[in-house]
Amino acid sequence: MPTLPLRKRLLFSLILLGVLWLLIELVCLGGLWALQRFKGIGYRGAEIRSLSAKHRRILADQLLSGKSAMAFDARLGWIPRPATRSRKFHTNRAGLRSNREYPPEPPAGRIRLAAFGDSFTFGDGVNYAGTWEHALEELDPRLEALNFGVPGYDPGQAFLRYQREGGRFHPHIVLIGFMSENIHRMVNTFRPFYQPTTGIPLGKPRFTLRGDHLELIENPIRSLKGYRELLHDEKTVLPRLGRFDFFYQSTRGRRLDVLPSVRLYSIFAESHLGEPILRDGVYNTRSEAYRVTRRVLEAFYDQVEKDGAVPVLLLFPTREDLLAQRAGGTVVYAPLRTDLERGHHRVLDLAEGFARYDTEDRVQRSHFVHYRPWANRIVARTLRDFLAAHRLAGP
């Protein structure tokens, strides 16, 4: 049987390898689609090298023009714009989500609570009457709940806001809100590096650990001039923003990420190599994100006690957490809850309230990211029960 000439054999081998490579890329492309569709996991690498058109528009048309609901803050990154009345929400002169102003001292006969946290504390997606703070005041008129929540915050930003603003309102009880996804934000310094579709394309501070001690890494953009520089020269500014950002550092330098195989490998490396944030469906207690999260929550708790108020840690489960629990699984934040309870901290896992009060099984039937008014009413009832059981607010 005659053999093919060497040139034709080489050509045939190259074509075969090309077809095989194309099949591998198609399989990887399908894997990326499945991860995004069913797990909500996407590749971020491409977004770390440039600003999207959406983020450029938000920065230029809203932040720099002063029209955004969130105002620039050099220390915290952003805060709700004070004295704002918009379609989405109202804030008072202190920048709290409320329809009224609060005196520095609590009124006689009232128990003042101050709630700090992210959008689950703020009540994103509902009007003021639909927030759990408002529902709590309706359940017990003796309670006064001040809403210091800010969309997009991590517990470190909430801690910094408490240090700056919380004490001047003299709360009796400080509620430290933590939503299970927050752990990822703890190692992020420019929000789009972690959430490419975010509506808050801003820099933020974060904490790190030096031994067992917390050390603050300041917000990398300290002025509005810094955002003008970002819009003008993103190739220079973005690497500077990513210096202490876990997500930037874990994906930078992969210039072949146009290939599905490279993107899929990057996702695998972030999740399984080194010390990923999650392992086996729960927090990885060895990861930097977990250690910083736990230490910040403990420091926040200790500071509240030193200030003479009563701290309570509120754990907000996502809908996915609640569904996992109902299926007999483990919520992703279970290791953190266990460690905090072992440290004798007051911890209220709101998943317990949903198990107790969601008698119509609305979690199963409803699709939501942030809590709807019915879910916020469950939060209020669960919190009221907790305060009464711990003799913090009477029966």
Tell me the pLDDT of the chain (395 aa) as tens digits: 566 677 777 777 888 888 888 888 788 788 878 877 776 666 665 556 789 999 999 999 988 888 888 999 999 999 999 998 877 788 999 999 998 999 999 999 999 999 999 999 999 999 999 999 999 999 999 999 999 999 999 999 999 999 999 889 999 999 999 999 999 999 999 999 999 889 999 999 999 999 889 999 999 999 999 999 999 999 999 999 999 999 998 875 555 666 777 767 766 666 555 578 999 899 999 999 999 999 999 999 999 999 999 999 999 999 999 999 999 999 999 999 999 999 999 999 999 999 999 999 999 899 999 999 999 999 999 999 999 999 998 65
Q: Do the domain assignments include residue 303? A: yes
Same domain, 163 and 309: yes
Q: Do the domain assignments include residue 253? A: yes
Q: Nearest 10 degrees: CA dihedral of 325, 329, 331, 337? A: 100
Strand partners, 71: 79
Same domain, 27 and 150: no
Please state the pTM of the whole predicted model. 0.87
Q: Do the domain assignments include residue 356? A: yes
- For residue 157, give its domain range: 112-198+242-389
CATH number where 371 lies: 3.40.50.1110
Q: Do the domain assignments include residue 259? A: yes
Greatest CA separation for the chain: 103
Q: How far apart are the C-alpha atoms of 127 and 111, rounded to whole Å?
A: 24
Same domain, 31 and 120: no
The secondary structure element, H or E, covering residue 53 is helix 53-58
Same domain, 165 and 295: yes
> Which pair of tokens denotes residue 151?
């969309």
Q: Do the domain assignments include residue 237? A: no
Q: Do the domain assignments include residue 93? A: no
**Strand pairing report for 278-279 and 282-283:** antiparallel
Q: How far apart are the C-alpha atoms of 59 and 203, rounded to whole Å?
A: 12
Same domain, 194 and 289: yes
Same domain, 300 and 385: yes
Question: For the chain, how many structural domains are there in total?
Answer: 2
Q: Do the domain assignments include residue 378? A: yes
Q: Do the domain assignments include residue 376? A: yes
Same domain, 34 and 124: no
